Structure 1
Amino acid sequence: MDMNRQNKYIDSLIFPLKQELKFLEREEDVLNFYRAKVMKKEESTHGDIITFIIVQAFDHNKNPILRKFDFERIFKEDESIKVLFDLKKTPSFCFQTKILSVNEKRYTFLTIIESLPREFYLRLDGSIFTTYKTLQRLKKIRKDGKYLDVNILNAINSVEETTREDYQQSDHNETENFSSSSLKYSEDFVDIFKNLKLEDKNLISKEEEYKDFIKKIKKLGFLIEYNKLNNSQKESLLFSKKNKSYRIIGPPGSGKTKVVVEIVKTLLYAKKSVLVCGPSNISVDNILSSIIDSEYYKKIKPKLYKLGSFLKTSKTLSCYHIESMANESVLPLLEKLNQAIDNKSDQKTIKALRKKVSEKKKEFIMSTIRCTDLAFATLFSSYKMKDNKYFDWIIIDEACQARESESFLSVLLAKKFILVGDPYQLGPTVKSETVELKSTFFDRICSTPTFFLNEQYRMSKLLISFSNSYFYSNRIISSKKTKFKFFNRSEILFIDTSNHNSKESKLNSSIKNTFEAEITIKIIKYLESKQNIYDVGIITPYSQQAFLIKDILPKVSFPIQVSTVDAFQGQEKGIIILNFVRANKQQEIGFLSDLKRTNVALTRCIHGLIIVANSATFLQDEFYIKLFGHLHANAYCINPAIFDIILFKAK
């Protein structure tokens, strides 16, 4: 790839990010602070709902901005914000939340903080801040004009370029209703899988060059658990010996984390340096936790660290955070500093000690990054290492949830990469509905060698059957058996609310369905009466439905988690209760037209799945016609009236 094509590719990443920030008057407004005034405080079951107005803007240096702002253009419903108590104090007490509603220049958010001052400060946070920083990093690479690593460019080079004109034709609808292009995007990926070229099964392990390698791994016994992997997992591990970048597709319950952990251990055994990344702290912490709990770590004790937000790292893993390690390294200096403060020493002495602590911590962090062969970081945090370490391998978990630009910046930190994910689960979270923003680096490098983990251990064959057929071309093998059945009929219970009193109602930008929520509560009470032993997840596409169910949920003896589908991705529960919510004569289904969202919802259960939905609302959609047809053939299907009769007889 010549420099011209390299720049065109980087431009293709820059342009959609600019589109994401186009609601701002200037891109740098992301960094501004805003002074707000509390107008009203209302108690709710989830905390206090704060109504406020914004009265002044400050730049990133905390200087007042004199130009006028259209604050409603900046702060929208569901926007992530950081709330600060004081702009002058550093650090100031702060917390993160989201804008609940916007109405005539009045805004609301939810908080459990009781001592919120009358006036406070806020700034944009979350994905918007990440977008801005990612954009600046890409612009710098473009400006520097250095040739990128040939291995990365080769992976990208095989993909046909998209022109800027193509981006400008994209639909930028910012409501919950997906455009037809978004639906086409989902359908295209289903079609792509049918023609996906995977590496030949059992071919790699038969090659002569791997025989000695396999023998060495097997001799390590429990340190690298090669013999505990199934064939598809073994193949995806062994390919790392080829020293080529590749992808691993892992459907729900297929043991992606287990494979990644064994690959990491194998690469370390081969004296390779490894950076493990993911789009969120949860994805990274899951792998870090599994590594630490392994016999390999307990016996070999490889040096490792985690980089990124200390506050977002789980408490059990905080000691592995590089910031925590740096604090430990300067304890004697910190004690001196604290003594100086307690003794009310002169400010010059205190300032000098603070500077020394800061310098020593920085030295420790830089030295640790350079000398340690195993590192963990979110994609956003990983880029901070660009000037201090170049790894042999980078492994990106949940790569299909990460924006293409973020993954691209991270793979620049290593010679080779392994991307692990499921392209049929939910993709990156973006504000705009531009299709290009939903694209991932995993999608971009589709000609890269690809492995498919074809055995799943989460649920029975019936529970995975629809997703297996529609999304995965029946490639998934399910060996798990279950005796669990609802009313001794099926592992799937479908309560169809069509022709009953099921109506949706809109609240702010979200939707709720009181009838479905009431049925859900009846289900919970029934499970309690039958001494249910499984944990339960109640999931719904809409946040207002989740709020409604939480408000009326009774206390029971078994664990329950209520969540949106998006927030529940990557999790599992014994029994899942799914509310579809949509019920209208216009047959509008909103962002349930994103097939990936429904695939996530259908694949979270271990033992049983209960679907509460108004099928009549979905009869214009080919996908849902097939889904409800599948349910009528395989689930125990009843209406709310019959369900009430069953509950009455069960008393």
Structure 2
Amino acid sequence: MPGVDKFVFVGDQKQLSSFTQVSNLSLSLFERVLLNGTYQKPHMLDTQYRMHPSISAFSRHKFYNDLLKDGITAEQRTMNSIDRPVMFWDTQGKCSEERVRIRTREDNGYTYSNPGEISYIVDILQNLIYDKQVDKSTIGIITPYRGQRDLISKVLSENELINPTKEEIKVDVDRDDIYNDSKPVTIHTVSGIMIASIDAFQGREKDFIIFSCVRSNDTRKIGFLNDERRLNVAITRARYGLFLIGDHQTLDQDPLWHQYLDHLGSREFINRTDSVALSR
């Protein structure tokens, strides 16, 4: 580039890159520069100030090779007597996924929903809003599938406790649905609560994140949930509390999820009861 003396790349190759339907463009220029040895010692911003240390722990170790440090303490990220900053509710195969046919990129024209997981979401929301007095605008719900996003939004909009003023679902266009033939809507908001895909949540954060994993089947297939960069994004959006809902047995068949679930289990962050409690 004539006249350019210095070029500075800023990014995070451990999170999602831009979407492309051209395979040769799937590797970003930022990643190419890091991989081809142009810069032997890139400068790393090595301190995170967003997450409770219990939320950041797995990503710091697995994705950033223990080079990332916490610049915030557990005490600084404890709110409203919630002493379980991370919790995974195991549906134990009781909440089966449902395959939904739509015109979209996801899984060759199919998306997925899981109505059973939404009952956990409602319980967690009611616990946060009414028992813990958490402002709804500080809560986000992440799910990997459009079908689940739409179903969550519908159920929450009809729930009198979650949406007492009967507000309509607010929708915003975001990049991950640009190439769909259907109406390109990604981010939903119900009574202040944001519901969106993992991809749409990259670059965003909330005090509390609820993650609906969706996949639960006899064949133990988890689709693009096995993408490590997608997992890294999903579990690093929360500041104070991360609450996951999924089928342990299905997810555990994937090597990456097996490591994450082992990590959660070793810290007693897995709940195999139907009751929702955010404090001990």
TM above 0.5: yes
Partner Cα distance (1:598, 1:486) in 2: 27
Q: Secondary structure at the match of 2:140?
A: strand
Which structure 2 residues correspond to residues 290-305 of structure 1 after superposition, within 5 A?
Answer: none
Give the structure 2 partner of residue 291 of structure 1: none
Amino acid at match of 1:552: V
Which structure 2 residues correspond to residues 82-481 of structure 1 after superposition, within 5 A?
Answer: 149=1, 414-431=4-21, 434=23, 436-446=24-34, 447-449=37-39, 450-481=42-73
C-alpha distance 613-485 of structure 1, shift in aligned 2 (>3 A): farther
Give the structure 2 partner of residue 532 of structure 1: 134
Matched, 1:548 2:151: yes
8 A Cα contact 1:498 1:616, kept in partner: yes
Give 1:480 deviation, angstroms.
0.9
Partner Cα distance (2:85, 2:219) in 1: 32
Matched, 1:566 2:159: no
Partner Cα distance (1:591, 1:559) in 2: 28
Partner Cα distance (2:50, 2:243) in 1: 16
C-alpha distance 438-606 of structure 1, shift in aligned 2 (>3 A): same
Give 1:635 deviation, angstroms.
4.7
8 A Cα contact 1:541 1:592, kept in partner: yes
8 A Cα contact 1:491 1:608, kept in partner: yes
Amino acid at match of 2:99: K
Q: TM-score, normalised by structure 1?
A: 0.34
8 A Cα contact 2:252 2:261, kept in partner: no
8 A Cα contact 2:93 2:216, kept in partner: no
8 A Cα contact 1:492 1:609, kept in partner: yes
Aligned residues: 233
1:57-114 CA-to-partner distances (Å, cap 9, x unmatched) read xxxxxxxxxxxxxxxxxxxxxxxxxxxxxxxxxxxxxxxxxxxxxxxxxxxxxxxxxx
Return the index of the structure with the highest Cα Rg.
1
Amino acid at match of 2:163: K
Give the structure 1 partner of residue 97 of structure 2: 504
Give 1:428 deviation, angstroms.
2.1
8 A Cα contact 1:495 1:639, kept in partner: yes
Give the structure 1 partner of residue 84 of structure 2: 490
Once structures 1 and 2 are overlaid, which stretch shifts more, 530-539 or 543-552?
A: 530-539
1:384-406 CA-to-partner distances (Å, cap 9, x unmatched) read xxxxxx6x6xxxxxxxxxxxxxx
Residue 575 of structure 1 is aligned with which of 208, 217, 226? 208
Amino acid at match of 1:521: V
8 A Cα contact 1:494 1:635, kept in partner: no
8 A Cα contact 2:112 2:148, kept in partner: yes
Percent identity reads: 30
Partner Cα distance (2:47, 2:66) in 1: 11
Matched, 1:521 2:122: yes
Q: Secondary structure at the match of 1:493?
A: strand
Partner Cα distance (1:485, 1:631) in 2: 21
C-alpha distance 580-572 of structure 1, shift in aligned 2 (>3 A): same
Contiguous gaps of at least 5 residues in structure 1 = 1-148, 150-389, 393-413
Give the structure 1 partner of residue 170 of structure 2: none
Q: Secondary structure at the match of 2:117?
A: helix
Give 1:582 deviation, angstroms.
0.4
Give the structure 1 partner of residue 220 of structure 2: 587
Amino acid at match of 1:469: H
Runs of 4+ in 1 over 3 A off after TM superposition: 485-489, 556-559
| More helix by percentage | 1
Give 1:485 deviation, angstroms.
6.8
Q: Secondary structure at the match of 1:418?
A: coil
Partner Cα distance (2:79, 2:123) in 1: 18
Partner Cα distance (1:416, 1:488) in 2: 47
Cα root mean square deviation, aligned: 2.4
C-alpha distance 516-570 of structure 1, shift in aligned 2 (>3 A): same
8 A Cα contact 1:495 1:611, kept in partner: yes
Tell me which of the two structures has the higher relative contact order, counting C-alpha pairs closer than 8 angstroms and 6 or more residues apart: 2
Amino acid at match of 1:493: M
Amino acid at match of 1:546: R
Q: Secondary structure at the match of 1:420?
A: coil
C-alpha distance 440-573 of structure 1, shift in aligned 2 (>3 A): same
Q: Secondary structure at the match of 1:626?
A: helix
Give 1:488 deviation, angstroms.
5.1
Partner Cα distance (1:575, 1:585) in 2: 31
Give 1:545 deviation, angstroms.
0.7
C-alpha distance 556-464 of structure 1, shift in aligned 2 (>3 A): farther
